[in-house]
Structure 1
Amino acid sequence: MVLPWKTAINVAKLDLSRGSATPHLLNRRARVVGAGAEHSGKRFQLDWHTVRLFLYRCFKRLGDIIVSALGIILLGIPMVIAAVAIKIESRGPVLDLAERIGKDGRPFVLMRFQTGHEFSQSDEPARTASFLRRTHLDAAPQLFNVLMGSMSIIGPSAESREFYRASRQEIPQIRQRLLVRPGMSGLEKAAGATELARGTESPNVEYVRMQSGLLDLKIFALTLFVLFHDDNGSA
């Protein structure tokens, strides 16, 4: 009487002598190994994307600190002069403080120089206010927002809570902007787009989707070009 396990051994030997080597078993094992390798590859890709995004955010924050600190040092004296001139020409405060919504929906106080005509002591617009708006120096105090971490040099424009509430119907993806810090300049400002057509997505939303170090450098270079050229295109 041949035991079952001996029969199995004889069948295996027969398969080997015929060159088959139980291909159905080998193919099954290959499929299992292949599936495991594919799953491992997906997990590696996901981990690499997470690491890349983490490194990008770390270097961007480091760049924000360096650029904002250098900007405060270089513009320190002009900002002091501007503050004194605003105080002389106006009856209101030196800074315009406004609540804005930042990353993860956290509110913060956005700072900029006061340039409103209603604070002028005469009927004509204050010369200091006009100069600050023309040279974009009215936004210089936002460098302190960047240094403190509530803003970034490059990012979506900072908006109020009412803006997000009013825009939810027109731009359903508007809250994606809250995934990153708002910026002093961004894809919308650098491109000169001030108004969006109804039903279209904001360039700020597109920035969140496409954010990268190379895109930030392009926007930063375009922003510098805009800063050193007036509305007429002359330097």
Structure 2
Amino acid sequence: MLDYTNAVGSKVLHAAVLPVVVGLAIKLVEGTFSIGRFAEAWPVTVLFVFAYLGAWSLNSAFEQYPFLGQFEAAFLSASCAFVPVGLVLHSLLGPSLRMIAFVAGGGGLAVYLVDQFFHQFRDSRLVVIPGGVSYRLLATPGVTPMKDACLDSVDVDGIVADLHSSQAAYHRLIAQYRLTEVPTHHAGYLYKLLTARVLLGEDCRTELTVDERPYYPHVKRASDIILLAISQPFTGPILVAASLMLWLESGGPVLSWHERIGRHGETFRMTKFRSVGTGDGRENATSVDRLIQKLRINELPKLWNVLKGDLSLIGPRPKALDFSPELFEEETLLEYRHYVRPGITGWAQVTHGFAVDEARRELEHDLYYVKYRSAALDLLIVYLALKSVLSGFGA
């Protein structure tokens, strides 16, 4: 708690530099600094201070998720905070103050990025104790095992072990590090941090608790509707063009309907573009099919289900009615996965592609999303989805 308070105080102190940045912007734009002009530019100062603190808060949330580098997280959080503020100022201010806001915004962004550059993180040195589910952690990419011979002498930041089932041979080592106030972490906790998945396995007991968030579903539903309205000028013409191409190539209906499992296990009919290929394999797909799949246009008809409330833009992938519950180690996990609305894209799809082959891995990602769902995680999924579309990852 003390570290967090110190961090907040540090960021507030850094944000206090922004009024100086605004003053310098006035000097650069108008050639001289004026107290009166600085007073007129108070919306610029106030909003950019809030943008700086908002970017820091959002970046702090991104830091708990893998698959996003430190500088990438800094640019993403800065974009989400500074760009909306810039658009607001552009609509409120006159031409002369707009230029001051533009220069001040660039300076504030530079201050933020320099601050992030000088606060880089180093890799943690952790000792992973064998036994129990620790083998799952040792098999995770990026985890390098240490030799037993150097365990007693290495300077470490923490101990990692299966606290439910640790081997007796390492009890002395664990006790030794505890005497030096080195923290001990459960292997499942580190597994979630490194993989963004909930640890599942035949040899571990799955305990998943889902916090009630009474306002989050309503905020997310409102966000879905707003984003649908904003995207309509872009998605509408694409839907019309794709429908016309499919109709010209094959004739007949261009949409197909499929039964899917929705929130709380209720069924609904999901729509998507009808495949015009001659078979189920991708090698038999037509040129229109391949184009629609590559550009992910096949996902756009599902926006109708989002409008109806069957789907959300973000959530676990909707399963067919013949989905086998044997994939779940406990029947209650099926209820957890259906605790939220399924989505067009989700945490599993943006981290391991839209064609997730391992059912267990997909389930671990889905349960992670249900447990830690938040606005920051939704924003990160949107960013990674756009990144995957542009890069072709998971196509």
| 1:138 equivalent in structure 2 | 298
| TM-superposition CA deviations, 1:23-43 (whole Å, max 9, x none) | xxxxxxxxxxxxxxxxxxxxx
Structure 2 gaps of 5+ residues are: 1-210
| 1:100 equivalent in structure 2 | 260
**TM-score, length of structure 1 as denominator length:** 0.68
Structure 1 residues 167 and 64, CA gap change in structure 2 (3 angstroms): same
Structure 1 residues 228 and 200, CA gap change in structure 2 (3 angstroms): closer
Determine which structure has greater relative contact order: mean sequence separation of CA pairs < 8 Å that are 6+ residues apart, divided by chain length. 1
| 1:57 equivalent in structure 2 | 217
SS of 2:391's equivalent in the other structure is coil
Alignment of 1:123-162 (within 5 A): 125-162=285-322
Alignment of 1:109-120 (within 5 A): 109-118=269-278
What is the distance in 1 between the residues matched to 2:362 and 2:290? 33
Verify the 8 A CA contact 1:72 1:143 in the aligned structure 2.
Answer: no
What's the C-alpha RMSD, in Å, of the aligned pairs?
2.8
Structure 1 residues 63 and 197, CA gap change in structure 2 (3 angstroms): closer
| Match status 1:206 vs 2:333 | no
Q: 2:387 aligns with which of 225, 230, 234?
A: 225
Following superposition, the deviation at residue 84 of structure 1 comes to 1.3
| 1:33 equivalent in structure 2 | none
Partner letter of residue 208 of structure 1?
A: V
Following superposition, the deviation at residue 113 of structure 1 comes to 1.1
What is the distance in 1 between the residues matched to 2:300 and 2:361? 33
Following superposition, the deviation at residue 166 of structure 1 comes to 4.6
Verify the 8 A CA contact 1:171 1:202 in the aligned structure 2.
Answer: no
Verify the 8 A CA contact 1:171 1:201 in the aligned structure 2.
Answer: no
| 2:6 equivalent in structure 1 | none
**TM-score, length of structure 2 as denominator length:** 0.42
| TM-superposition CA deviations, 1:183-206 (whole Å, max 9, x none) | 011110010250226598431122
| TM-superposition CA deviations, 1:71-118 (whole Å, max 9, x none) | 333111121111111011125531121110100111111111123512
| 1:173 equivalent in structure 2 | 333
What is the distance in 2 between the residues matched to 1:132 and 1:195? 21
Structure 1 residues 170 and 57, CA gap change in structure 2 (3 angstroms): closer
Structure 1 residues 76 and 127, CA gap change in structure 2 (3 angstroms): same
Verify the 8 A CA contact 1:164 1:174 in the aligned structure 2.
Answer: no
Structure 1 residues 197 and 99, CA gap change in structure 2 (3 angstroms): closer
Identity %: 29
Structure 1 residues 82 and 209, CA gap change in structure 2 (3 angstroms): same
Partner letter of residue 244 of structure 2?
A: V
| Match status 1:188 vs 2:336 | no
Verify the 8 A CA contact 1:115 1:130 in the aligned structure 2.
Answer: no
Q: Which moved more, 1:124-133 or 1:135-144?
A: 124-133
Structure 1 residues 198 and 60, CA gap change in structure 2 (3 angstroms): closer
Structure 1 residues 125 and 70, CA gap change in structure 2 (3 angstroms): same
Structure 1 residues 161 and 230, CA gap change in structure 2 (3 angstroms): same
Verify the 8 A CA contact 1:170 1:198 in the aligned structure 2.
Answer: no
| Match status 1:216 vs 2:378 | yes
Following superposition, the deviation at residue 214 of structure 1 comes to 1.1
Verify the 8 A CA contact 1:71 1:143 in the aligned structure 2.
Answer: no
Partner letter of residue 96 of structure 1?
A: S
Structure 1 gaps of 5+ residues are: 1-48
Aligned length: 181
Structure 1 residues 144 and 199, CA gap change in structure 2 (3 angstroms): closer
Structure 1 residues 139 and 124, CA gap change in structure 2 (3 angstroms): same
Following superposition, the deviation at residue 221 of structure 1 comes to 0.9
Structure 1 residues 166 and 69, CA gap change in structure 2 (3 angstroms): farther
Partner letter of residue 161 of structure 1?
A: L
Partner letter of residue 293 of structure 2?
A: R
Verify the 8 A CA contact 2:348 2:362 in the aligned structure 1.
Answer: no
